[in-house]
Chain A
């Protein structure tokens, strides 16, 4: 569900932006994040005025840890691998919408989340005189571990395998004496191999099957301002769009009910990075939902992690 997805696209620490590691360079990121939401905005009827906000199980909480490894394969190509683990729970299972979704819909879920692999190719390099750094990438996600619990509102994924390209744009520059700034934005398109191609909503006829889930667009961005090489901070944002059904169109008996939802949201927040001269970086950040549709409307995400460069070439 959207909650698990939010866990995946959190405060990216390793590999954010178009920049790639040098050949043979490696970084390891180990982090954690905590999310909390209490309300879900849903389109409860065909009329736009039917959009409403409902409480969700007296609040849902998730706790996740993840490890992300980045490797500079060639001078302009970087590989990334992410392995997350999550625990998602509802404060109460005897309230709506847990009752409406049926037994077990708010059961606590503990599982490996979406395994994600990414390759990024730096096609334009600002260090070589280009106005921007631009990378093209490809992402693959494997959600097999999340499939058994995908029908829960407390799921950590929708059980699908996803594949798609991405584009990353960014730029850095000097800031005052000894400082610098960086900013980037990146856009993903993910084709999600559907769990079903013939999902039918309870109010839809047999002539209107839809895939569940449908492809997604993801947009991230971040700006960091650094008075010196040891600290950087700045705003960040993350957005998602996926076509699909409205809440009132769902067949609540279907295990892919949540994957069939059409959703969008936008979250904004900030990030702080503290780095020592060895390149070890501690980062922390937060995101808060500011816009949502068929998605949690008051979700908070706080993350923290440590990134360590390893295997840097030594003379």
Chain B
């Protein structure tokens, strides 16, 4: 049940409004009653032991990983029977939104951003934490003047050494399709730092080319793509990229962990050797010791960090603390499998007790048992986190932001508390529920509402002007409901708060290339209800957004199918038809299709399908 505006939480906070919601959690903007400070509260939807443990693990990890490139968590809040994490509001966008808008990022800017990500991941590794879900949606970009500071977030499935009581089940596959390393796909409990290296390589590949490195022939990216599909070398994907850069990315994306970089520092040295200032940032001590989970004694590594270049300071605190050597508790194991094990079997939704009865029938009957046709989806897709969902569902009005000049020192980290929301151009926000004005909005305050005031800490920071109200009208179905298991982090686009941020035009380094398809990939099998009846939909999509497939109804013991054809645009608007019998219009994301269909005299029949 959603919290009400004005509702008290934990006796210390009052709810300003709902920012976003996902399958497992909701994010609210809350205000400290006495201090007046504004925060983001990520509240679990229900008190489920396993999920609560995961959330608390996420909070503990991020709370102890105090680093400029890691999104902070400041408190754990309990409200009635629900648990939540308190975080500062973050002004910025996620990298996924940036890529959604710009598709490809120039090399220099990509390396600048990647250096920040490497800093954060390196700090986490140094504290004995594997992220295991690195992807653009889990990298927030904090706007600082004309620069963006990456913040790694969502350690929800992070692995903290061996002694924490790992919540990962052996044999389980976790992570995001296309970003998870092959060994993680096969067994999420048996990965080391090189799995994060792989994910970092995918992120960089994506930034540079606008495409994913391991793709199925039909253009889809599935959880098993990294195991079974061929790899497109970076130099082949974009022949204009420097050879050294291509070699570095190719090595990070090696299918076998043995062939990748051993740790983030090694990758950074290869990636940033032409950019010593960025390299120095990555190699500088993080100032974070092993986080307190009764970790075993960590062995120092011979390849210690280089001293930072003169004049470069990552953060003030680092200079005051002793510099621990990077933690290699997750050093590569001495032996690695040469070839990946077969993929785990797809999880069946229904009980398999009928197999025994089927075998008995076949033995007795010996009949006509044959199986035709391909199962359109051989393994289930991993669920998207809400960050990914947010990007997929919305086309943010992003403006390019130029990177800082390489000669300028990076801005000091400043906590800015400003309005947080989830803008949408489509009117298809993940956020549900009315805003303060009673109108369904994306979370951005309408005009007249008192905005959240920034709390600058630096002497030169401006107080952002009051953002103008924007209510995003929805022209599609009501709400896209994320799949269960999705997590939510909301980020506001500073472009939606005019007057507060001035963004310089991008520095053109390379000619703009025609954007490739960045809309939702609707290929695959969908199931749910159509007009109240169980239905499935099997779809195939071309890179141009043309769709064909069939809609199948379950009627008693009969399955009745209708071929459909149509299109989906990059905003996910889908229109399908089946001769003159059936027409369907829906809003599609990577995880759901919601809309309506008409068939004969059946008008406005709802259709709600999920992966």
Residues of A within 8 A of B (CB): 13-17, 19-22, 25, 27-28, 30-32, 65-67, 69, 75, 125, 127-130, 133, 170, 172-174, 178, 180, 182, 184, 222, 224, 226, 228-232, 273-279, 281-284, 304-315
Contacts and interface: CB of A to CB of B under 8 A. Distances in A.
Contact of A229 (B370, B554, B602): B554
B562 to A, nearest CB: 6
Given A14-B557, A22-B563, 9 more contacts: A13-B557, A19-B555, A30-B367, A30-B368, A31-B365, A127-B600, A128-B581, A277-B525, A282-B354
A314 B539 CA distance: 8
5 contacts: A22-B559, A28-B369, A67-B365, A75-B581, A128-B602
B558 interface: yes
Interface string B329-366: 00000000000000000001111011001101110110
Interface of B: 348-351, 353-354, 357-358, 360-362, 364-365, 367-376, 525, 527-529, 531-534, 536, 538-540, 548-550, 552-563, 581, 599-603
A122 to B, nearest CB: 9
Nearest to A305: B361
Contacts of B601: 128-130
B525 A16 contact: no
Q: Which of B348, B367, B555, B558 has the most CB of A within 10 A?
A: B558
A32 B364 contact: yes
B437 to A, nearest CB: 31
A129 B197 CA distance: 55
Nearest to B539: A315
Q: Which of B365, B374, B560 has the most CB of A within 10 A?
A: B560
B602 A314 contact: no
Given A19-B555, A180-B534, A315-B548, A67 B368 contact: yes
Contacts of B525: 277
Given A276-B350, A312-B373, A314-B538, A180 B532 contact: yes
Contacts of A125: 600
Contacts of A308: 369, 371
Given A129-B601, A306-B361, A315-B538, A19 B367 contact: no
Contacts of B375: 278
A277 B554 CA distance: 11
Contacts of B354: 274, 282, 306
A66 B369 CA distance: 12
A315 B540 contact: yes
A92 B365 CA distance: 27
A278 B352 CA distance: 13
Nearest to B537: A315
A315 B556 CA distance: 24
A278 B348 CA distance: 10
A307 B353 CA distance: 15
A112 B528 CA distance: 42
Contacts of B562: 22
A283 B602 CA distance: 31
Given A276-B349, A278-B375, A306-B358, A229 B556 contact: no
B364 A315 contact: no
Contacts of A229: 527, 534, 554
A281 B358 CA distance: 10
A231 B532 CA distance: 16
B290 to A, nearest CB: 44
B561 A312 contact: yes
B551 to A, nearest CB: 9
A172 B529 contact: no
Q: Which A-B residue pairs are the 8 nearest by beta carbons?
A: A128-B600, A129-B601, A174-B532, A282-B354, A22-B561, A230-B350, A315-B540, A315-B549
Contact of A127 (B372, B527, B529, B531): B531
Nearest to B555: A19
Contacts of B374: 314
A184 B376 CA distance: 31
A170 B556 contact: yes
Contact of B560 (A20, A28, A173): A20
B557 A283 contact: yes
Contacts of B373: 310-312, 314
A277 B555 contact: no
A304 B527 CA distance: 27
Contacts of B351: 274
A53 to B, nearest CB: 32
A65 B365 CA distance: 6
A80 B364 CA distance: 22
Contacts of A13: 557
A115 to B, nearest CB: 15
Contacts of B372: 310-311
